[in-house]
Structures are given as C-alpha cells and as structure tokens.
Amino acid sequence: RVSMSHLQRGLAKALAATGRWSRREANRMTADARVCVNGVQVSNPAARVRQSDRVTVDGELTPLEVAPPRLWRFHKPDGLITTASDPQGRPTVFASLPGWLPRVLSVGRLDLRSEGLLLLTNSGPLARMLELPSNAFERKYRALVCTGQERGVTGAMLRAMGDGFGAARVRIRMLVSQLAPERSLPVSPHLSPSLPISPHLSPS
C-alpha cells in the first residue's frame, strides 16, 4: 500500500477532495483567510499541502482524507430545477435531498419540467468522466409523448427522426426508437442507496 501522506496538492483542491466543499467554495474560504495550515493562516488556494498537514477551517480540524467516489440514483420529479441555487427562487433538486447526504454533484441535468433518472455523485472527476461526449457512454431515454388523433406519434414519425434533427445548434439522432405500451410512470422522488464504483464503470 502506497502512503499518500507525502504527496502534495493545491490547498483548495485538497479541501474539495474531502467531499465537504466545492472547489469554488474552497477557493473562497481560503481567500477569506478562514484556513490555517499547521497553525499558519494561508490565503493562497494553490498553496501546496500534504495529507499529513494539520489543516483547520474556521478553527475546526479538517483531515485531508480523500472521500471515496460514490454514485446515487435519484428520481427527479417534475418541478425541480437541477442547480445549486436559482435566482428566480424555484425549488431545486439539491434542496430536496435528505440531510444525511454529503455534498453531491449532478451528472448532467434534467429540465425543470422533465422527470426521471438523475445520477448524483460526490466526485467531480467521476461526474466529468461520465459527462464527456468523448467517453461515449451510451444514454437511454424513455419519453412520454402525447397521444390522440391530433398529437399522436406514429412509427413513421419515429423513423423520420432516426435521420436526425437539429435542436439548439446540436444535431440529434435517435439510434433506436419504438412505441412502448402506455403505462403510468413513477412521479415521486426516490433516492437509491449508493452504487459501488469500480475503476472501469460501465453504463447499465
């Protein structure tokens, strides 16, 4: 086992890696002179620290232990916005989470009126790995569409969408599409237990 106590990292990065703060919050705390390293006040977020250093935030001892990456599945209901804070005062996903959950990030986001699976993680690198298009993680969506004589979606319409269409300057193409039997979908929020994370995470 390799000891991490002598490896150096930037102070703000090390604080964020504990899972208690974001990098932005860690930068702000350091700039506001709230952080001390080995009894010395440090105002430079890039100052190099080791895991063995004694770091305090507002006088409270903060061990620089890296939080293990964790992943939660959250069923986002209609009416919650996927952001940490909303200038318009609309309810957010993060405000609805239980208090025992650590600070988490969303992997991507769902629109205000969208509902469905939203992945949450305590690891910024993991979130970025899952979000980057270059990593080619396959995403599967189920869309609830309007039915009826005027708004009905037919197989011919879905086949036409398979050729691709433009949305917000992004070209979208459906790889597989089919009409599923109509049935009720869950609408209440649900947070699952955290999932085990392996070095090579495979999408379901």
What's the whole-number mean pLDDT along residues 25-33? Answer: 92
Who wins on pLDDT, 56 or 137? 56
Instruction: Quick: pLDDT tens for 87-135.
Output: 999 999 999 888 888 888 899 888 888 888 899 998 888 888 888 888 8
Please report the pLDDT score of residue 90 as a whole number.
92
Please report the pLDDT score of residue 4 as a whole number.
44
Residues 6+ apart with CB under 8 A from 7: 50, 51
Please report the pLDDT score of residue 2 as a whole number.
36
**Three-class HEC string of the chain:** CCCCCCCEEEHHHHHHHCCCCCHHHHHHHHHCCCEEECCEECCCCCCEEECCCCEEECCEECCCCCCCCCEEEEEECCCCECCCCCCCCCCECHHHCCCCCCCCEECCCCCCCCCEEEEEECCHHHHHHHHCHHHCCCCCCCCCCCCCCCCCCCHHHHHHHCCCEEECCEEECCCCCCCCCCCCCCCCCEECCCECCCCCCCCC
What's the whole-number mean pLDDT along residues 11-23? Answer: 87
Residue for token digits 């232990």? 65
Per-chain mean pLDDT for the chain: 77
Instruction: Quick: pLDDT tens for 69-82.
Output: 889 999 899 899 99
86 is catalytic: no
Catalytic residue among 32, 58, 78, 111: 111
Q: Is the pLDDT of residue 199 over 50?
A: no
Q: What is this structure's pTM?
A: 0.61
Q: Is the pLDDT of residue 24 over 80?
A: yes
